[in-house]
Amino acid sequence: MSEVRFTRDLFLRCVCVVFLFAFTSFYIQIPGLYGKNGVLPARTQLISKSTKDDIANRMQKKPTLLWFGKNLGVEPEHLMEILSLIGIFFAFTGFVSQKCCTKPIFSALWSLYYSLYQVGQTFMLFQWDVLLLEVGFLCFLMAPWIQRSPKGKRPPTSDPVDFINLWLVRWLLFRLLFSSGVVKLISGCPTWWGLSALSVHFESMVIPSPLAWYAHHLPAWFLKLNTVFANFAEILLPIFFFFPMRSVRLIAFWIQIFLQVNIILTGNYNFFNYLTIALCLSLVDDDFFGGNKYGKKSGWPMTILKALITLGVYGGLVYATVVLYGLKVSPGGVIDSKITFTPKEFDQALGRALPGSIAIGFISLIFTIYKSVKATFNQANSSKMWKLYSYLKVVFYIVASLFIFSDSLVPFSTLHPIGSETVTAQMKQVHERIEHLHLTNAYGLFRKMTGVGGRPEVIIEGANSMDGPWLEYQFKYKPGHVNDSLPFVAPHQPRLDWQMWFAAIGTYHQNPWIMSLTYRILTGQKEVLDLMDNTRNPFADKPPKFLRANLYHYHYTPYTQRESSTVWTRKKVSEYFPVFSKDHPPLLDYLKNLNIIGDEGKEPQTPAGLAKALTELRGIFTRLEPQFLMLSLLITGFAVIFFGSLPSGGAGASQPKQPPQPAQHKGKKKKF
């Protein structure tokens, strides 16, 4: 049986890296997003009208550590910074030291991020935020209470419950990818059904990378073929994550890594794809890293048999893909593709595949539980107390895994109406009670492709006269000026830029936060302007008297103009919101009703010394651009790991060891 101890430890440390990215990215945006003069102040989420205004009632209403700010005398903004800094510290220690990848550390990481998520409002309503919470909870289950150093020359053996915990990670990976794949076709989006989605996607994604422009101009047939590959990797392949042969899972691992790396190169999806790569580690074991040197090796007949089965599996998958997507090579060498099944046939197939995948998952879980129980009984330890502890431990994780699997079926089964038959009313009731903890979630990315007629963008303009001139405000990363270059910004997520993308595909009535942004710009709030490109602020000396916004449609410049410095072409479509001033009564009344303005003095005042220390620390963190800050933290972590693994003793460590000297005995020599 292959070991998974190293795989488990590597997964835990990778998740710590993702938490490091998430906390750091969030930390540097707190003042502009959630400060007392931010777009959506955190204090608006900490208003309690209960007559019993104690911690217990407040935590029941909204479970977040920020409630303690009132008792500690710390403003919500500053307490959010403190929680983020603690999260950065714990995540960094877990990254650089395996000894810190323990239950207490992951409990702290989950609690801190959950506390921030609770007041994050629209700027944290993303699937990767709840995915990180779900992964953090699984890491809490997986991590030991104390990391013990290996003894002797043999590598440390796996804890029997590691097999169960890594299976839960694999089940999460399956749900994430399979759901993200099928929702594209469930939505009925014509670009997904016509396999033309990528011809729009690279132009309409939230923050394209520099390579997105080149990917957009690839031949249409090649982009359609890549859409077929994405459907293959997300819909057909994931069920084979549970195939009992590791060679099949290993190929699935490399296919998923290839997909995620390509997404990273062409788009800026913050830490999401890095987290998905970490989840893919559940498909491999220690043999993959060369860690099971003492395991049994298969003979050549078995090796040949496994190779034939693997070829058969992937040959069948390739054949199914060719048939389902009508792949054929034209005389000119172009690969044509076209979906050969109808929406009705897909719906019928999904109705059978959903309960089938649940059944396969359940059988795989039972087999994994059996393997863990067998490993527990085979442990070579003579201590009766230790054996009793091991038995109780594996029973606990069996119950926990069955509970998590059952709870995950509630959101997973929503992919098809027939899924409701696989979920009992009691399971739904339990899920509703704990749904706010995000232990299991529903997933489904890129359900519909936006920007088919042009990428929509909201352009905010200011002026000191109604007659103009109207000057544009620029953002740091989202498209604005047509000559702006495309950035690499991941794993940082500029959450204001992201919400501007969502605002553009709706109206300002559907995005009330944008009225707060308008007011903050009109009042010249530096914290908010720092989230934008303040170096090109057209009203750097004094904020404008009036503000308006227009909706534009953007397109990439043609490939024939690749030598030009212009990346975009754009055309004005309509007015997005009318002219506002900072004294506009309807605007002020609207913001007062949202508690964004009007009661700033009710929150506690942070002690001056603490506030000054936090400000100085923030100044250190913000000297670098966010993406470079995270890269520097990553490099620093690797440096700590590398130098910490070197032999101790300085210069003498590199010198050859002296042969042992015979012991010197004092007194008379013993006669033999």
Predicted pLDDT at 517: 97
Alpha helices in 205-342 (DSSP H): 210-216, 220-231, 246-266, 272-280, 300-324
Instruction: Tell me the average pLDDT across 264-289.
Output: 96
Dihedrals phi, psi of 574, to nearest 5 degrees: -165, 175
Asked if 489 contacts 557 with a C-beta cutoff of 8 angstroms, the reply is no
pLDDT(471) > 60: yes
Predicted pLDDT at 663: 47
Predicted pLDDT at 49: 67
Predicted pLDDT at 224: 97
d(CA 672, CA 666) in angstroms, rounded, equals 17
Predicted pLDDT at 421: 84
Closest Cα partner for 386 from 105, 156, 160?
A: 160
Asked if 29 contacts 532 with a C-beta cutoff of 8 angstroms, the reply is no
> Among 11-20, 103-112, 311-320, 656-665, where is mean pLDDT lowest?
656-665
Contacts 24+ apart (CB under 8 A), 53-57: none
Asked if 461 contacts 473 with a C-beta cutoff of 8 angstroms, the reply is yes
pLDDT in tens, 40-92: 999 999 887 665 667 888 888 889 999 999 889 999 999 999 999 999 999 99
- Tell me which DSSP letter residue 438 carries: T
Residue 525 burial (CB count, 10 A): 21
Of the pLDDT bands very low, low, confident and very high (cuts 50, 70, 90), residue 149 is low
Instruction: Tell me the average pLDDT across 207-228.
Output: 96
Of the pLDDT bands very low, low, confident and very high (cuts 50, 70, 90), residue 363 is very high
Asked if 524 contacts 543 with a C-beta cutoff of 8 angstroms, the reply is yes
Of the pLDDT bands very low, low, confident and very high (cuts 50, 70, 90), residue 403 is very high
Closest Cα partner for 29 from 124, 107, 110?
A: 124
Predicted pLDDT at 361: 97
> Among 98-107, 297-306, 412-421, 637-646, where is mean pLDDT lowest?
297-306
Asked if 113 contacts 132 with a C-beta cutoff of 8 angstroms, the reply is yes
pLDDT(442) > 80: yes
Predicted pLDDT at 620: 93
Q: At what angle do helices 5-27 and 626-644 cross, to 10 degrees?
A: 140
d(CA 627, CA 28) in angstroms, rounded, equals 11
Average pLDDT along the chain? 91
665: exposed, middle or buried (C-beta count within 10 Å: 0-12, 13-18, 19+)? exposed
Interacting residues of 263 by C-beta distance below 8 A, sequence separation 6+: 269, 273
pLDDT(230) > 60: yes
Highest-pLDDT range among 224-233, 293-302, 439-448: 224-233
The model's pTM: 0.93
Dihedrals phi, psi of 436, to nearest 5 degrees: -65, -15
Dihedrals phi, psi of 43, to nearest 5 degrees: -65, -25
pLDDT(665) > 60: no
d(CA 374, CA 366) in angstroms, rounded, equals 12
d(CA 291, CA 5) in angstroms, rounded, equals 9
Predicted pLDDT at 651: 44
Collapsing DSSP states into helix, strand and coil, what is residue 217?
Answer: coil
Predicted pLDDT at 155: 55
Predicted pLDDT at 601: 58
pLDDT(204) > 60: yes
> What are the C-alpha distances in Å from 247 to residues 208, 243, 642?
35, 9, 32
pLDDT(231) > 90: yes
pLDDT in tens, 335-356: 999 999 999 999 999 999 999 9
d(CA 521, CA 39) in angstroms, rounded, equals 10
pLDDT(459) > 90: yes
pLDDT(645) > 90: no
